[in-house]
Amino acid sequence: MIINFGVANIMRTNYSPKREAIYEIIASTKVHPDAERIYSEVKKTYPEISLGTVYRNLVHLRNSGKIKSLGVIKGCERFDADMSPHSHFICNTCGRVIDVGDLFSIYTQRLDKIVEKELCVEVESHDLVFYGICGSCNADDRS
């Protein structure tokens, strides 16, 4: 789900314990959760919180550069609080997102150079995503 917000929420910079709790949920896991998953976690601490509030805070966190969106995977937008340069593997079967790490910066730096030369542009960042079948989906298939 792609979320659209008003400017008012982006402008608000005051500290919000709920936003902090939402950030902590994303930062404390490697699953790259979607809004629904974050919502069900944050409800344990703030039972009165609405899904809309979660969405608004996700956009605020994203716009302030504390988290990034990985885009829509199997119909749900997924989020990552690890802002260090790293790539992802996405399972086409279950939607699992696995960090690949920066194993090949030597190659990607070369790719950046090729793109810069070819298009006469300056590359500032790139996203490298691998798609396939994860280990557990592969195992399920064989059983």
Q: Which residues bind Zn ion (CB under 5 A)?
A: 80, 82, 91, 93-94, 96, 99, 134, 137
Q: Is 100 helix (H, G, I), strand (E, B) or coil?
A: strand
Name the minimum Å distance from CB 17 to Zn ion: 25
Q: Which is nearer to Zn ion, 31 or 114 (CB)?
A: 31
Q: Which is nearer to Zn ion, 44 or 142 (CB)?
A: 142
Q: Which two tokens stand for residue 132?
A: 């396939």
Q: Which is nearer to Zn ion, 33 or 55 (CB)?
A: 33
Name the minimum Å distance from CB 98 to Zn ion: 8
Distance from C-alpha of 53 to C-alpha of 85, rounded to nearest angstrom: 29
Question: Are 96 and 138 a contacting pair, CB within 8 Å?
Answer: no
- Within a 10 A sphere around the Cβ of 56, how many other Cβ atoms? 22
Question: Are 93 and 133 a contacting pair, CB within 8 Å?
Answer: yes
Name the minimum Å distance from CB 99 to Zn ion: 4
Q: Which is nearer to Zn ion, 94 or 114 (CB)?
A: 94
Q: Which is nearer to Zn ion, 1 or 94 (CB)?
A: 94
Name the minimum Å distance from CB 93 to Zn ion: 4
Question: Could you please report the per-residue DSSP string of 32-99?
Answer: --BHHHHHHHHTTT-TT--HHHHHHHHHHHHHTTSSEEEEEETTEEEEE---SS-EEEEETTT--EEE
Name the minimum Å distance from CB 12 to Zn ion: 27
